[in-house]
Structure 1
Amino acid sequence: MSEKPMRVTMLGHACLLCETEDARILMDPWLVGPANFRSWWHLPETPFDPSKLPPLDYLYLSHLHEDHFHVQTLKRLDRRPTVLVPRLYHNRLVSRLNQLGFTRIKELPHAKECWLSRSTRVCCLQMGNDSLLTVADSSGAMLNANDCLQGNPLAQTLPTLQNLAARYRFQIAFLAFGTAGAYPKCYRFEDPAEYLDPWVKEQAMLRNFVQGAMAIRAGTTVPFAGGFALLGRNQMWMNEVKTTPTDALAALQAKAPHLNGIDMNPGDIWDSKGGLIRMSPPPDWDKRLDMIRRMHEAHADELKRIEDGERNGPLNLYKLFQSSLIQNLRTIPLLRRRLNCSVLFQVEGHPGGSWEIDLRRPSRWFREGDSGDWLIRVAIPSALLAEVLVNQDGWETLGISYKLDLYMRKGARAKEGSLIRLINTPSPWWILRTLMTPRFAEFLVRRRKEFVNLVRWKFLETTS
């Protein structure tokens, strides 16, 4: 047994610094500025400067969402550490890292243990486009499950977590407890029966957190990856409908009082021998709305610059809008028949206006102005629309940012999966190149059930 304990420092939101006997791993670093289309801000605010972190041996990036793969933070980090990423069916993580100047990259195979050094071993499991990481040495083992409890079926996730728990006997586990997604906060419906109370989704995620904790049975469970506030003036009300670490720990105590849960905040350290070391008093989460109002006031000038910038799109935006949607319709020929409705884009700022695409017509789908005869209305600032159109993850990021504004008339809910494909569809060449790679063959072999779900989500929804 080593004399040196494992230590894990909470840096903020989903960012951890894990120090084993002989390795230092920085995980999912978002440490400066806002994330997700400039919408998420650290709560509580984090004091850490990326350039002043201790020397690192490894970075771990779980997935491409900006609160985990934060470009402005990554630009300020040393390029010498080896970057650990899941080996997915595509190479977009690797390509993005190469663009940022990271060349030492190690792709971790699904569910296979890898030794990083004499004492430190890791195991990465992939779920969808997300991943979790276990880290172990002779003094202990930790689990960073980040967002894997969000958006993945518990019937798949819980047995995986139970198997990991039996293998590693975790001293500490970090599990997401809150929601992150546009529905239902960013949706408005003509038919009130289609509306979902946001608290229903929040409570469902708390149940996922508790069930995950019960499956893992770690010595300590930490509510994790929910430390953000929405400071935009149109999103401020959404902070009122959001669970806190206190809520997560209360739910855990009510359902599994034998499990130990703790709240960790920026600067706090967990030690495999000494337990929790608090570096400052924890926030009073009952007063979080007051905290957020003060943050909103403190960042008022920057928030104004962000809002103004998002309303100032490129001059060729309408041409980009038309060409992008036409390309997506050509990539999935049956998409037009599946939608078979008119979608109105209310583009705010410059250039802007009401832009409608009517897919009931055999040709000449586009027109400027509001006919009133649409099924779905999307309100979006012009520069944000440009970002969504050119970014393969743009629509998903827009939803996570809570800057999506959708109005759906009766019957529109069934069209939503096809709307995503209308806005963002990978090019045929990207799809072909991906299908021809060895990594895709590995995905088919190791993750067959997920492959079936992936095909159903990406393609069958648009053709049924």
Structure 2
Amino acid sequence: MKITYISHATLLIEVNGLKLVTDPWVKDTAYCNQWHLFPKATHPELIADANYVLYSHGHEDHLHAGSLQMINKQAAILYPYSWYGGTKTFFNDLGFTHVKEAFNERTIVLDGQVKVTYLANNLDNVMVIESGDTVLVNINDALPSASQSMIGYFLKKIKQRWPAPDYVFSSYGGASYFPNTVHFETKDDEEIAQTRERFFVNNFCKIVAGLRPRMAVPFASDFILLDDHQRWINRAKFPRYEIAPLFEQEHPDCDTKIIEAYPGDVFEGCNFFKRSRYHAVARQLLDTVDNDYKKEIEEKRTRKSMAAGQSAALKEKLKRHIVEKAYIIPTDIRKRIRFAVRVTDMPDDPVLTIDFRGETPTFSWQQQPQGDINLLIDVGSQVLNHSMDHEWGGDAIIIGYGAEIYVYHADAIRYEIENYCVRLLSRYPNTKEYLKRTPLRAARYLLSDAIKRKNLIYKAMGRRDKVIDHSDPVLSERDLWLNKGKCAVCKACNLK
């Protein structure tokens, strides 16, 4: 098995002439031009003649349509089966007719020589790829943000079936607007961001120590933000070159080699070959951004304002959308909300104030935020339109860092008003309604996922203590991350 690290979560795996590509994102941007590959792929053309394309999940930095279009249309696609449909139609519309949805924990044999097994953690998936005696466990985004009990559950399951993996590839950083783009008067943004990144790196180390592969590779966190007001987030990431020393310090009894790999590097026979040009500048990689992304930065600094007709249409659309989505907020919390949305590229009266405190919601447009509001959301028209127009378009805000949120009152933190207001701007599917529309698909999905099935049963029985959380609840504790400071966060997350 030969493995070439292409970029981000993209691996080219070659076995006896068979070529597999994982999660191809090798060019352009993701999430409405907000995420940029960093570092860039050095050989994106290598994916073109793949025989199989393996997807772990549907986020755009993994399922990137533009990158997929670089691959020949005869390639077969494997995508994890889930409760939502439309997968085959999506790929068919792009010209790919060989599409297979992979069920949880079922092994698929490719061309009689490579085995692929998906292990689902909600919508994220671990992919285990086997060839002969060689085992690659691609954790991807499935576990670094998972609860400690879920991590333990997966480590046990993987070790039972694959007791001695050769490679583990796993992400090691965060990908969410919360808490980085949420601002409050008592919050130190950079300090909290760095602490949160340490949380994910700690989980990476725990996962590797639990699986004890011969080699472990931190990857799938290879993006950069180029808007001037967000470039500080790039500095908050945990340096890849510091992960190996941290692992040795935290897990001295584990002999796994942590590999600092970059696009272009190669693995074969559990040997690592440094082929990437980025090794020469690894410690100064952030210093190359201004030069390597000069064009992209200039484009961001010269954005044009919306035309008058576009502004008028968006104003009506936004009001209508908020009214339609208001049902997602519990009544007792909705009556506490008065917030504002500022469309940053709208020239005239760009601020919409929404007041839910009366019998019916009221809306007013002004040039500046006015009155006593819980919070202000700054968002551009491209991201806002995308979020409202597409079922999963809210990812441009939630994952893509597409909005800046300024919280003005502690009550907005206590009642998670920021979370509700952000989701008001999206069109995420309501899970219960979706399951009613596709009951047979939902049943097949639950039958294939034991942990999801058990969690639903325990919730129905009122046994919340038995539920294994897919993601770590501590990551969404608003008061902790926005109002408590680094020491409290470290204590809650068991960080040294």
Query: Residue 100 of structure 1 corresponds to which residue in structure 2?
Result: 94
Pair 1:255 & 2:250 matched: yes
Q: Distance in 2 between the 1:399 and 1:112 partners?
A: 31
In 2: Cα distance, 1:46 partner to 1:335 partner: 45
Q: Does the aligned pair in 2 maintain the 1:22–1:118 contact within 8 Å?
A: no
What is the letter of the counterpart of residue 411 of structure 1?
A: D
- Does residue 278 (structure 1) correspond to residue 274 (structure 2)? The answer is yes
Change (3 A) 1:321 1:351: farther
Deviations along 1:155-181, whole A, 9 cap, x unmatched?
112321332133222111101111111
Aligned match of 1:440: 442
Structure 2 CA distance, aligned partners of 1:377 and 1:327? 20
Pairwise mapping of residues 331-342 of structure 1 onto structure 2 (< 5 A)?
332=328, 335-340=330-335, 341-342=337-338
Would you say 1:407 and 2:402 are equivalent positions?
no
TM-score (norm 1): 0.88
Structure 1 residue 456, shift from structure 2 partner: 11
Summarize the Cα distance change of 1:455–1:196 in structure 2 as closer, same or farther, 3 Å threshold.
Answer: same
Moved more, 397-406 or 421-430: 421-430
Provide, for residues 245-271 of structure 1, a one-character-per-residue CA deviation record: whole Å limited to 9, x for no partner.
Answer: 112222212122422111121111111
Give SS of 2:210's match.
Answer: helix
Deviates more, 1:307-316 or 1:394-403: 307-316
The correspondence for 2:424, drawn from 403, 422, 425, is 422
Please tell me the residue identity of whatever aligns with 1:378.
I
Spell out the pairing of 1:280-359 with structure 2 (5 A cutoff): 280-281=276-277, 282-304=279-301, 307-308=303-304, 315-330=312-327, 332=328, 335-340=330-335, 341-350=337-346, 353-359=350-356
Unaligned runs of 5+ in 1: 1-5
1:140 is aligned, of 134, 148, 154, to 134
The residue type paired with residue 260 of structure 2 is D
Structure 1 residue 426: deviation in Å?
4.5
Query: After the TM superposition, which residues 104-119 of structure 1 pair with which residues of structure 2 at under 5 Å, given as runs?
Result: 104-119=98-113
The DSSP-based 3-state class of the residue aligned with 1:197 is helix
1:65-109 CA-to-partner distances (Å, cap 9, x unmatched) read 111011211223222111101111112433432332322111111
State how many pairs are aligned: 448
Deviation for aligned residue 1:356: 1.2
Distance, in Å, in 1 between the alignment partners of 2:363 and 2:147 is: 38
Deviations 1:348-368 (A, max 9, x none): 123651101111121242221
Distance in 2 between residues matched to 1:450 and 1:116, nearest whole Å:
32
* Structure 2 residues without counterparts, runs of 5 or longer: 460-466, 477-496
Q: Which of the numbers 335, 347, 366 marks the counterpart of 2:363?
A: 366
Instruction: Give the fraction of aligned pairs with identical amino acids, expressed as a percent.
Output: 21
Distance 1:111 1:34 in 2: 32
- Distance change in 2, residues 1:166/1:95 (3 Å): same
Q: 3-state SS of the aligned residue for 1:103?
A: coil
Aligned counterparts of 1:430 and 1:97: Cα–Cα separation in 2: 26
Residue 202 of structure 1, CA deviation:
1.0
Residue identity in the other structure for 1:26: V
The alignment status of 1:202 with 2:197, answered yes or no, reads yes
SS in 2 for 1:411: helix
Residues in 1 aligned to 2:14 and 2:59: alpha-carbon distance in whole angstroms? 24
Q: Is the 8 A contact 1:165 1:218 kept in 2?
A: no
CA distance in 1, matches of 2:2, 2:148: 29
Deviation of 1:402 after TM superposition, in Å, equals: 2.2
Match of 1:7 in 2: 2
**Aligned partners of 2:180 and 2:189 also within 8 Å:** no
Judge conservation of contact 1:311–1:349 (CA < 8 Å) in 2: no
- Residues 370-427 of structure 1, C-alpha deviations (whole Å, 9 max, x = no match): 3322102101112221111112223333232223200112111222342244223456
